[in-house]
Chain A
Amino acid sequence: MTRYLLTRLGQALVIVILVTLITFVILHLLPGGAARAILGKEATLEQIAAFNHEMGYDRPLWEQYALYLRRLAGGDLGYSFQLNQSVAEALSQRLPKTMLLSLASTLLAVVVAVPLGVIQAVRRNRWPDYTINGLSLLAYATPIFFMGLMMIILFSQVWPVLPPEAPQGFTMAEVLADPAGLVLPTLTLAILTVAVYSRYIRSSMVDNLNENYVRTARSKGLSERRVIVGHTLRNGLFPVITLLGMYLPALFSGALVVERLFNYPGMGLLFWQAALKRDYPILLGVTLLISVATVVGALVADVLYAAVDPRVRLKAGRT
């Protein structure tokens, strides 16, 4: 297992470096350049030259990349001219907010989706299955901005019980002190995720319910509840583990639409605004973070698989 983990970590490192290299090259090949985007149309050629010199953009690309890696090794993610902040500071300001929102909505989605998926599988092709299926499809097909807007109109204007924006506090304590503000953005994100997860769980549960081990369990006289919760659900949750692993990068990358709609400046918005202004240090910082999250997510999913499924463990041990 240790060797397996070390191999995977090595692969992960190579992938992360490749991602930064590709991002770096693509960003610098974009037409226009950062100087004009950030300094505006009034900037003189001298000011543009000074900016490029200060940010190192006047050096050859390979030198810029080497410099970036060297700074990165020293823990320096760079400085965002557009925000007048260090990249690390900008990330540390937004990442906790994004993670709170993503975790809350994912957790809510899993808590709701698992029972829904199980009910659908157990009552398949009957009215509960049809009803949940219809609602899931509706939620899945609704654009997220529309969903968010409807939430705001319904719950903060027509029936004003919740605030139209997410908590505006600076620290996490301030944000958490205002949970009512988190309700609408969390719900907006969760509804879509519920629709996706419940479909996966239903399908996986239906497959498992037809397996021989379920028949055996039933023939041994176990209660239906134990058969479903104790045996089938455990196997039925595999796809959710894969999904959660794949979802890890999303925890870090934020949800642009929800952030914009609910005035919640997180990672998605940070990346979007940086892209508009060609703020390379921020773009690289966010990409690096997300690529690390992606490979770690895949790794965690594999390890979790190994933990719940002995077959994966045995196979890995043999190789």
Chain B
Amino acid sequence: MGTRTRIVCGVVAIGLGLTACSAGAGSSSQQGGAQGKDTVTVAFRTPNWILPISAPGFTQGENDIFSTALYRKLYAYKLDGSSADNVDPQRSLAEPPAVSDEGRTLTITLKDNTWSDGKPITTKDIQFWWDLVTTNKDKWASYRPGGFPDNIADFKVKDGKTFSLTTKKAYNAAWFVGNQLNRIVPLPQHAWDKGDPKKTFEELTAAAKDPKTYATNPLWKTTSGPWKLQSYVPSGEVVLAKQDTYSGPDKPKLNKIVLRPFTGDDAEFNVLRAGQIDYGYVPPANLSQRPYLESKGYKIAPWYGWSITYLQLNFNNPKNGALFKQPYLRQALQMLVDQPTISKVIWSGMASPTCGPVPAKPGTPGGQGCVYPFDPAKAKQLLESHGWKVTPDGQTTCEDPALCGEGIAKGAPLSFTVTSQSGFAATSKMFAEIKSSMAKVGVQLAIKEVPDSVAVTPACKPEESKCDWDMSFFGSQGSWYYPAFASGERLFQTDAPVNLGSYSNPEADALIEKAQFSADAGALQEYNDFLAKDLPVLWMPNPVYQISAYKSGLQGVEPQDPMNLMYFQDWSWKS
């Protein structure tokens, strides 16, 4: 410890009542920065759910990454188009499913793998998972009435390595494999099963609700993943250690991954700047410091998500719902959102236009060929041709109700309130820009920022008091992340669970169903093309999931998984 440090420490030691400073500047960083060639320190929110059957409220990305590091899912996916139904043949625990019975039966054969205690992973472990979720489906976050496992007519175990699922209806295999089989996680039956699935589930849930014992409870010692839990501090640091008995092909190259949480973006960025973490992120507001970070040996890598971003419109709003139901009006509003410029200037290139419900090619920025590009003149013309008296920088009102559309009275103003997210500088700037663009054709936009816009803009009926919101934005880090198959049954189908704006269009419903059930490979494109035009929401610039920053000596970080998983086992230090 240097003299200077001692002097500063001495001053504060008076206040602390301490006799001496025992460590120097590096002491806090013992857990941070490159700690040699076998460890990586990662900025990471503390996961708070270990059981691979996720419970409602515990579905955050960090829990998924943590759980996958310990318990491999039946299928892993990659979206680079190199394999059928996006199944990652290397990382998956089973061979790709064989489809028969006109698409209704999927037969799955497990590969040879073992649990960390050396016991083989068999269909007993799949059966165990199946029994737990079917008996306790109301407590499973992924359960939707009518969805998996309600849509399964028969689950049959053929032998120790093979089982089959027969569905009640014939599904599009790509949809079923990507969006249903992704939920299956073999669980260690020999270590967890207490006989009764209800009782077993209760015990497992109780153990998962006691995070301080995660690293010590013997339950969590039998794992199938490449990592084991070395230490766990609730709301604090988590250390994953290489699982020596891991049977998969993607063996970890590092010995240890230290997951360090931060209290906020500022704290994380300060530590990143000081070079004390190996993998972190650059808060969008600090992107201007990219050259400094690069000079410090960091590589900056935007992480493109398999996602879309949109502005939800409340079709059931008793006052403005009638306006949103007019396609021409949605088109005019969309033409007032300058997605390319906002992406480039406000998001510093770390966002790209959303043009429809199906994201652009995975891992790349999208934004090519939007149906309604930014065109205020055309928007003005569209409004005028539908009976609106456009007053630039004033208030545009309906002059001819017959042309304005059903439920719109003479003199009705184009005046909306957007409920947006607070705490995101780029989002605030984006809406200020949109407000200004809209004002130029007399559309008044008021911006209300709240910490959690989703919580105050629920799906609602017009007569409910909570239905007074007009527009809602919750996409500062992307509005929606898809599983492998980007279909819209949860977003844009009538009464879909996340259809917060209550958009409803029979044609869209039919196309969504077609993408889900038909074997027609073009169905998804057809659905995308229709909704890109019909505007169930206003398409907005889609920000990257995160701007990652990692030490340039770290290999295997890229490509970053568009479905937001992290495969630490691929990481290694350049020798």
A interface residues (Cβ-Cβ under 8 A, vs B): 31-33, 36-44, 46-47, 50-51, 81-85, 89-90, 93, 100, 104-105, 107-109, 111, 145, 149, 152, 155-157, 159-168, 170, 176-183, 186-187, 190, 259-265, 269, 275-278
Question: Is B27's CB under 8 angstroms from A182's CB?
Answer: no
Partner of A261, one of B12, B14, B267: B267
Partner of A90, one of B2, B14, B22, B235: B235
Measured CB to CB, the closest approach of chain A to B205, in angstroms, equals 11
Known: A93-B234, A108-B15. A83 touches B27 (CB 8 A): no
Q: Which residues on B sit within 8 Å (CB–CB) of A176?
A: 18
Measured CB to CB, the closest approach of chain B to A3, in angstroms, equals 36
Question: Is A179's CB under 8 angstroms from B452's CB?
Answer: no
Q: Which residues on B sit within 8 Å (CB–CB) of A105?
A: 15
Does B454 lie at the interface of the complex (its beta carbon under 8 Å from any beta carbon of A)?
yes
Measured CB to CB, the closest approach of chain A to B307, in angstroms, equals 13
Measured CB to CB, the closest approach of chain B to A40, in angstroms, equals 7
Q: Which residues on B sit within 8 Å (CB–CB) of A38?
A: 57
Does B574 lie at the interface of the complex (its beta carbon under 8 Å from any beta carbon of A)?
no
CB within 8 Å of A: which of B32-77? 48-49, 56-59
Question: Is B236's CB under 8 angstroms from A168's CB?
Answer: yes
A42 CA to B21 CA, complexed, in Å: 50
Question: Is A167's CB under 8 angstroms from B28's CB?
Answer: yes
Partner of A40, one of B48, B57, B276: B57
Best-surrounded residue of B11, B57, B144, B211 (most CB of chain A within 10 A): B57
Residue of B nearest to A176 (CB): B18
Residue of B nearest to A162 (CB): B25
Measured CB to CB, the closest approach of chain B to A155, in angstroms, equals 7
Known: A41-B498, A265-B235. A168 touches B454 (CB 8 A): no
Question: Is A104's CB under 8 angstroms from B16's CB?
Answer: yes
Measured CB to CB, the closest approach of chain B to A105, in angstroms, equals 6
Measured CB to CB, the closest approach of chain A to B327, in angstroms, equals 25
Measured CB to CB, the closest approach of chain B to A88, in angstroms, equals 12
CB within 8 Å of A: which of B162-185? none
Measured CB to CB, the closest approach of chain B to A249, in angstroms, equals 20
Interface size on B, residues (CB 8 A): 71
Q: Given A105-B15, A160-B274, 7 more contacts at CB 8 Å?
A: A40-B59, A51-B57, A177-B23, A178-B22, A261-B270, A265-B236, A278-B452
A46 CA to B141 CA, complexed, in Å: 11
Does B212 lie at the interface of the complex (its beta carbon under 8 Å from any beta carbon of A)?
yes
Does B118 lie at the interface of the complex (its beta carbon under 8 Å from any beta carbon of A)?
no
Residue of B nearest to A265 (CB): B263
A44 CA to B143 CA, complexed, in Å: 9
Q: Which residues on B sit within 8 Å (CB–CB) of A190?
A: 15
Question: Is A260's CB under 8 angstroms from B266's CB?
Answer: yes
21 contacts between A and B (CB under 8 A): A41-B454, A41-B474, A42-B498, A81-B57, A84-B58, A85-B235, A93-B235, A104-B15, A107-B17, A108-B12, A165-B276, A170-B233, A170-B236, A179-B12, A179-B23, A182-B12, A183-B12, A187-B11, A187-B12, A263-B263, A263-B267
Q: Which residues on B sit within 8 Å (CB–CB) of A93?
A: 234-235
Question: Is B456's CB under 8 angstroms from A31's CB?
Answer: yes
Best-surrounded residue of A33, A36, A168, A269 (most CB of chain B within 10 A): A168
Q: Which residues on A sit within 8 Å (CB–CB) of B56?
A: 39, 43, 47, 50-51
A42 CA to B54 CA, complexed, in Å: 13
A50 CA to B55 CA, complexed, in Å: 12
Partner of A168, one of B4, B21, B31: B31
Question: Is A179's CB under 8 angstroms from B22's CB?
Answer: yes
